[in-house]
A and B are shown apart, each in its own frame.
Chain A
């Protein structure tokens, strides 16, 4: 029997890209995937857990702040510590920084308003489980849709992040240059996506699930999910460890 990765898509009250992520994983990519209710306390049956976009708990207080205190996030900490793959998209990224699984903060866009548009990203690292199918320095196109996506961290934290090569995606123009105009929200160092020091937790503001099919205008997001699936397939022994 072949070893197939199992994806869990967390549903917080107010998540609104949960169905989109499940559709891409199941129907577009043919993976085993299911919803995980926000009260779940055990994630060990999954290889990859996706925190989808949306407005969890209405984003009241601060985006992602309430979700960060939910039971599933406590389970997520254990899951991540055991080496499980975690992908936070948009609001999912906000939850990951709020609960401390990723450094920094996501604050109000520089423009002060919500923005939905396509952006260019430069892939800064291809040695992570999620980005291994991209070429180093490749420029890809993905949509963003957020009002609070400006990545912020104090100077020393930023310097540390850069030194450890934790910035995985950066907003750039079509030529791969991180210009001010190409930065849609005023993020520090044009940061669009960050990986944990351990490499297994990735958060990004752009929506890879919205660009997994040519009909919707692009397929650059697809390889993110495919990369994670491939990484899991190559490591059947890790699942046993995580469960154990």
Chain B
């Protein structure tokens, strides 16, 4: 073995104290190959060094939770004997450098995380944060990212059923590409990534190993500099959805044989990470023979084989004596499959190349990077922004403001984007993109279904991290409840700047506390998630952006509620929180050109009661539509309900909703507010339910006609639907 020279720790991406810690634990100096293995496994991306202390505070258990964080995906029961695997992951850094392939491989990676639990992937959601579409670079970025997701998702045959895209200047250089996947499995087919059984074989399956993506995990743990787009292209992997599709089918076939003890995707840090994590989780060791790894290129160094992030590869532990049937299945699907090693009792990861030991490390040390906690400090500038009372807002014509908001990229119709994704394949999609939440039927447990929604407002979290975290949970769970589904689990994707800066540490602490408090109050566990840090360039960090993906269960998909108005003559009511704020609102940004003020903080107990109200009313057929108030507040929600249903409405706001002034009443934002419509004959029963659950309800109008009319203290708005449609649909 060669020995390292002292400076090598820095090149491997380690800190000096980390290097010393490794030497101490090993009782020797790691060789260069071993050092590079530590470099990637101890990177922020793999080890969650700066987020782990916070993530520990999240509630992760519940009656239906079969697997929480720590596995490749969370697993929760959605019907007797049937479970859903759920996970969100970011591919921000690769997408910044190569939007198309960065986003495409993000899809491939999350599919294999869900597959690793033994689940067939049945749905994808994408949550994008980009620079404003007025900027040509950001438009190209959007084109690349949407094209990449479309390329991979459509080909692999997993529908993209929902998602969201928001635009802010802070995402121009640092786009956020978060993709979530849901898979279904019979609870008895649940598999683990924990390697077990000394003597069992370690099997490599899938595509060949090349030099692409080497050091990707370390790259994802660094800030992007101006020249990144040229230099780091080698750190971006190229995905092959065809191989990805074959890998899904072959792996599911292999799992049915009962020969598989454990499996894991070779994602970030490739073979090294999979072998180390599987060994550490099972409390065993592995011996690997690198010369048996199928390769795409000649003369690859051992470290390159160990660290390659070539896509579409899985590592399996297979029961001794059953190797041939596993290899045969993969080969029948045209994939590579080789026995590359054995599980051993000794807790060591011993890597040989042509018989020579090139690395010999304890798995627990490889996966045992230290956790850091940095001083948290709220910057004064942020405190000032939040304390802005917004008293000097210009007076605006409400009709013109409504048009402006409908045209704004955050609010405008996303049809031109989501129709580029196949959202129907697999025949489960009862409600696809464009509504509050996607609804998928469970063919295995009819008439049940699941609902999915991804949400997160970085601007709110920028002004008030706790509110931003809690709000993301509230909005995702509310969207799911609006279609009539009971939220049962969430997965969270956190995207922030450099965590070594006290300002970002303060944001991280606040956002996680908000998510933790909300999930605890609502009784909804966080079953897994992802943290992406160092999303900053040239000293500018992204808004602290928590993307929360909620999974809900519907007892009967035929009762799923639409967001749009359904019937002429129905009553329109606003239920939930009465408070709204212009702080951090879309109105304040696009109409007044400011990002300031204090966003409304959620009342989590009221939110829980509101979820209960919506689910029970949908199940009993009390409501005909439900749509949550989000960007643009009440006026935009009304316009959307009209446009989605193709029906007008005439509304009058009660004085108590207008006490904060007309702009706040029409365009103020806040969590826990829902617009519902219902048969007038059901109204009394509905009000009784609201009273029983102590949820405020305001009757505001009636569905009908071809215009949206809004009268009262908030000022008058009357616009033909056709005009609203031009603004809403014409923007993209």
Contact surface of A with B, Cβ cutoff 8 Å? 13-14, 16-17, 19-20, 23-24, 53-55, 57-60, 113-117, 143, 145, 147, 207, 209-210, 213, 215-216
Q: How far is the CB of A91 from chain B (nearest CB, A)?
A: 10
Q: How far is the CB of B336 from chain A (nearest CB, A)?
A: 14
Contact between B425 and A215, CB atoms less than 8 A apart: no
Instruction: State which residues 406-434 of B face A: CB under 8 Å.
Output: 419-427, 429-430
Contact between B419 and A117, CB atoms less than 8 A apart: yes
Query: Complex Cα distance A157/B633, Å?
Result: 56
Given known contacts A113-B420, A116-B420, A116-B424, is B430 in contact with A16 (CB within 8 Å)? no
Contact between B334 and A13, CB atoms less than 8 A apart: yes
Closest 3 CB pairs of A and B: A16-B157, A58-B242, A55-B155
Query: Complex Cα distance A242/B242, Å?
Result: 35
Kindly report which residue of chain A lies nearest to residue B143, judged by CB atoms.
Answer: A113
Q: Is B241 an interface residue (CB 8 A)?
A: yes
Q: Is B309 an interface residue (CB 8 A)?
A: no
Q: How far is the CB of B85 from chain A (nearest CB, A)?
A: 18
Per-residue CB contact flags for chain B residues 147-177 toward chain A (1 = under 8 Å, else 0) read: 1001000111100000000000000000000
Query: Complex Cα distance A145/B333, Å?
Result: 25
Q: Which one, B241, B419, B427, contacts A55 given CB within 8 A?
A: B241
Contact between B425 and A17, CB atoms less than 8 A apart: yes
Query: Complex Cα distance A59/B155, Å?
Result: 9
A117 contact set on B, CB distance < 8 A: 419
Query: Complex Cα distance A17/B241, Å?
Result: 15
Contact between B154 and A145, CB atoms less than 8 A apart: yes
Query: Complex Cα distance A145/B422, Å?
Result: 6
Report which residue of A115, A116, A143, A145 has the largest number of chain B beta carbons within 10 angstroms of its beta carbon.
A116
Query: Complex Cα distance A115/B418, Å?
Result: 9
Q: Which one, B147, B241, B242, B419, contacts A116 given CB within 8 A?
A: B419
Q: Which one, A23, A143, A145, contacts B443 given CB within 8 A?
A: A23
Given known contacts A55-B155, A113-B420, A116-B420, is B427 in contact with A16 (CB within 8 Å)? no
Query: Complex Cα distance A23/B155, Å?
Result: 20
Q: Is B65 an interface residue (CB 8 A)?
A: no
Contact between B155 and A14, CB atoms less than 8 A apart: yes
Contact surface of B with A, Cβ cutoff 8 Å? 147, 150, 154-157, 240-243, 245-246, 333-334, 419-427, 429-430, 441, 443, 557-558
Contact between A60 and B430, CB atoms less than 8 A apart: no
Given known contacts A14-B242, A215-B558, is B420 in contact with A114 (CB within 8 Å)? yes
Contact between B150 and A13, CB atoms less than 8 A apart: no
Kindly report which residue of chain A lies nearest to residue B242, judged by CB atoms.
Answer: A58
Q: How far is the CB of B443 from chain A (nearest CB, A)?
A: 7
B420 contact set on A, CB distance < 8 A: 113-116
Q: How far is the CB of A215 from chain B (nearest CB, A)?
A: 6
B157 contact set on A, CB distance < 8 A: 16-17, 54-55
B243 contact set on A, CB distance < 8 A: 58
Contact between A16 and B419, CB atoms less than 8 A apart: no
A20 contact set on B, CB distance < 8 A: 425-427
Q: How far is the CB of A15 from chain B (nearest CB, A)?
A: 8
Query: Complex Cα distance A76/B419, Å?
Result: 33
Kindly report which residue of chain B lies nearest to residue A211, judged by CB atoms.
Answer: B424
Q: How far is the CB of A186 from chain B (nearest CB, A)?
A: 16
Kindly report which residue of chain A lies nearest to residue B332, judged by CB atoms.
Answer: A37
Contact between B150 and A16, CB atoms less than 8 A apart: no
Report which residue of A16, A19, A23, A60 has the largest number of chain B beta carbons within 10 angstroms of its beta carbon.
A16
Q: How far is the CB of A147 from chain B (nearest CB, A)?
A: 7
Kindly report which residue of chain A lies nearest to residue B423, judged by CB atoms.
Answer: A116
B150 contact set on A, CB distance < 8 A: 113-114
| Given A14-B245, A55-B157, A59-B155, 18 other A-B residues pairs in contact with their CB atoms under 8 A | A16-B425, A17-B425, A19-B426, A20-B426, A53-B425, A54-B157, A55-B245, A57-B242, A58-B241, A113-B150, A114-B150, A116-B421, A143-B424, A145-B425, A207-B424, A215-B430, A216-B424, A216-B430
Contact between A215 and B441, CB atoms less than 8 A apart: yes
Query: Complex Cα distance A74/B424, Å?
Result: 31
Kindly report which residue of chain B lies nearest to residue A54, judged by CB atoms.
Answer: B157
Show 30 A/B contacts (Cβ-Cβ < 8 Å), sorted by A: A13-B246, A14-B155, A14-B242, A16-B155, A17-B425, A19-B426, A20-B425, A23-B443, A55-B241, A55-B245, A57-B242, A58-B243, A59-B155, A113-B147, A115-B419, A115-B420, A116-B154, A116-B420, A116-B421, A116-B422, A116-B423, A116-B424, A147-B154, A207-B424, A210-B424, A210-B427, A215-B430, A215-B441, A215-B558, A216-B430
A53 contact set on B, CB distance < 8 A: 425
B334 contact set on A, CB distance < 8 A: 13
Q: How far is the CB of B17 from chain A (nearest CB, A)?
A: 47
B422 contact set on A, CB distance < 8 A: 114, 116, 145
Contact between B154 and A215, CB atoms less than 8 A apart: no
B426 contact set on A, CB distance < 8 A: 19-20
Query: Complex Cα distance A58/B242, Å?
Result: 5
Query: Complex Cα distance A113/B148, Å?
Result: 12
Query: Complex Cα distance A9/B419, Å?
Result: 27
Report which residue of B150, B156, B427 has the largest number of chain A beta carbons within 10 angstroms of its beta carbon.
B427
Query: Complex Cα distance A114/B246, Å?
Result: 22
Kindly report which residue of chain B lies nearest to residue A11, judged by CB atoms.
Answer: B249
Query: Complex Cα distance A53/B424, Å?
Result: 12
Q: How far is the CB of A140 from chain B (nearest CB, A)?
A: 16
A114 contact set on B, CB distance < 8 A: 150, 154, 420-422
B421 contact set on A, CB distance < 8 A: 114, 116
B419 contact set on A, CB distance < 8 A: 115-117
Contact between B242 and A60, CB atoms less than 8 A apart: yes
B155 contact set on A, CB distance < 8 A: 14, 16, 55, 58-59
B441 contact set on A, CB distance < 8 A: 215
Q: How far is the CB of A37 from chain B (nearest CB, A)?
A: 9
Query: Complex Cα distance A117/B240, Å?
Result: 25
B558 contact set on A, CB distance < 8 A: 215
Report which residue of B245, B333, B558 has the largest number of chain A beta carbons within 10 angstroms of its beta carbon.
B245
Kindly report which residue of chain A lies nearest to residue B422, judged by CB atoms.
Answer: A145
Query: Complex Cα distance A113/B150, Å?
Result: 9
Query: Complex Cα distance A17/B157, Å?
Result: 8
Kindly report which residue of chain A lies nearest to residue B159, judged by CB atoms.
Answer: A116
Given known contacts A14-B245, A59-B155, A113-B420, is B427 in contact with A23 (CB within 8 Å)? yes
B423 contact set on A, CB distance < 8 A: 116
Query: Complex Cα distance A151/B29, Å?
Result: 65
B147 contact set on A, CB distance < 8 A: 113
Kindly report which residue of chain B lies nearest to residue A184, judged by CB atoms.
Answer: B419
Query: Complex Cα distance A58/B246, Å?
Result: 10
Query: Complex Cα distance A55/B154, Å?
Result: 8
